[in-house]
Amino acid sequence: MFDRPEMLWALGLGLPWLWFSRQQRPRFWPVGGLQPFQKWEASGQSQRRRLPWSAWAGLAALVLGALALAQPRWGMAGHRVLVDRSFSTGQLFRSSESSGRERPDFPDGALELGSPKEWIGYLQLHEEVAALAGSRKLTVWTDLPAPDGLPSWVDWRRGQASDPRRPNAAILNLWRQADGWQLAWIRGGVSGELWLWRNRNRELRLQGEQGLLALPDLSPGDRLWLAGAAGDPPDDRAFDDAWVLPPLRSLILPAEASTSWEKAVEAAWPDLPVRRSPLIEETLGQEITVRFEPNQTSDEDALVFDGDPFQKLDELEAVAFISRRLRAWRNLRDPFPRPQAECLPLNEPLPLWSLPSLAASRGVGRVLAWSGLVFLLLCLILRRWGR
């Protein structure tokens, strides 16, 4: 009913206000004559003071102001559901016949974000939650921990690899660094030993529930996977247990491409080399060729544009457009479930969200606040006139 019900305490000020207004009501006593005595009661008590019009106007202003501060939820939309379908939340949507677990029952109107080929993070969730602020209740299904500062109307349901009720081990991400590779992994509810295997060999035994591994000597095509000491699967969901290292790629730009292409590529794919002409030692299929063709043709290994985006769009719009195309190309070919920052162990404070108040609540609150101001001015005018 209210987003900030604690502000309704201000309604308690109404009684002192009414008492004060009654005591302070002016009475006009004409000089001379019997008029002051005509309305006396038989008991001899003085005339009862009625509440003046200014008291009622002030009380209305007080009630409207308290309701505006409490942010009522009148006229809100119903219960909405926001579902994160990123790669690392796959166990939310896959039922297991052996364990008898079923996926959550999402309503037909649930809003879905991301996919197994396209991750979403806190930024995208924040934008969507803020856009759905007109809901009476919003349920968010994701594998990300709930951030700090969530309002009461957001119900954060976390289902993830480390949930002990859903035993699972998963490779979250793998990225390149200057001295090698970093692998982020997580497990929860998995009993027994857990090892990282490389191709057919055991590499490292994993300790704890989550961590990072430094792997300096990986090669394109290497298969990394999680398994027990004898190679047995740690859970019944193998889709997030393995990772195949993609081949080394490079982006080949046409000679007439703008010099700003390097910035756009770095924003979408930081470790992708950019060249203006292919090298002889590169093998077929390991390079991404950018072509400018008015009549676009399909080519799996090429990014085809109808012209240089930097010649048709503003620089920032062109960078964003190229970044989207590169991410889409990469998501179709290389696994990329989560950004690096969201795969790190949770030893840092979670993000603090500053969400707007409910959109409809703000609209109702403004109406109540302006109405209260009108009654307050009316109260002052009436008191000025002695009413």
331-353 burial, b at 16+ Cβ within 10 Å, e below that, comes to beeebbbbeeebbbeeeeeeeeb
Q: What is the rounded radius of gyration, in angstroms, for the C-alpha atoms of the chain?
A: 33
Residue-averaged pLDDT of the chain: 71
pLDDT in tens, 81-104: 888 877 666 555 544 343 333 445
**What is the reported pLDDT for 2?**
59
**What is the reported pLDDT for 197?**
92
pLDDT higher at 193 or 31 = 193
pLDDT in tens, 2-34: 566 666 667 676 667 666 766 565 555 555 555
Strand runs labelled E in 180-292: 180-188, 195-198, 201-205, 210-215, 223-227, 242-244, 250-252, 274-275, 287-292
| Numbered ranges of CATH 2.60.40 in the chain | 168-244
The angle at the Cα of 290, spanning 288 to 291, to the nearest 5 degrees, equals 140
Q: Distance between CA 291 and CA 273 in Å, rounded?
A: 17
**What is the reported pLDDT for 190?**
80
CATH code: domain 168-244 is: 2.60.40
Residue type, 72: P
Q: Distance between CA 186 and CA 345 in Å, rounded?
A: 9
Number of alpha helices (DSSP H) and beta strands (DSSP E) in the chain: 8, 15
Q: Please spell the DSSP secondary structure of 89-136, one letter per residue.
A: GGGGS--BTTTTB------TT-EEE-BTTB---HHHHHHHHHHTTTEE
pLDDT in tens, 255-295: 888 888 888 888 777 777 888 865 544 444 567 888 888 77
Q: Distance between CA 295 and CA 303 in Å, rounded?
A: 13
What strands, in cross-sheet order, belong to the sheet with 201-205?
Answer: 201-205, 195-198, 223-227, 242-244
pLDDT in tens, 325-365: 887 777 666 655 455 555 555 445 566 676 654 444 455 66
Q: Distance between CA 204 and CA 298 in Å, rounded?
A: 43
Q: Distance between CA 95 and CA 80 in Å, rounded?
A: 23
Q: 380 with 372: CB under 8 angstroms?
A: no
Q: How many CB atoms lie within 10 A of CB 219?
A: 10
Structure tokens given for 341: 């920052």
The angle at the Cα of 60, spanning 54 to 64, to the nearest 5 degrees, equals 145
pLDDT in tens, 58-70: 778 777 777 777 6
pLDDT band at 196 (very low <50, low <70, confident <90, very high): very high
pLDDT in tens, 117-175: 666 777 778 888 887 776 678 888 887 777 888 887 888 887 644 444 567 788 877 77
Q: Distance between CA 53 and CA 382 in Å, rounded?
A: 7
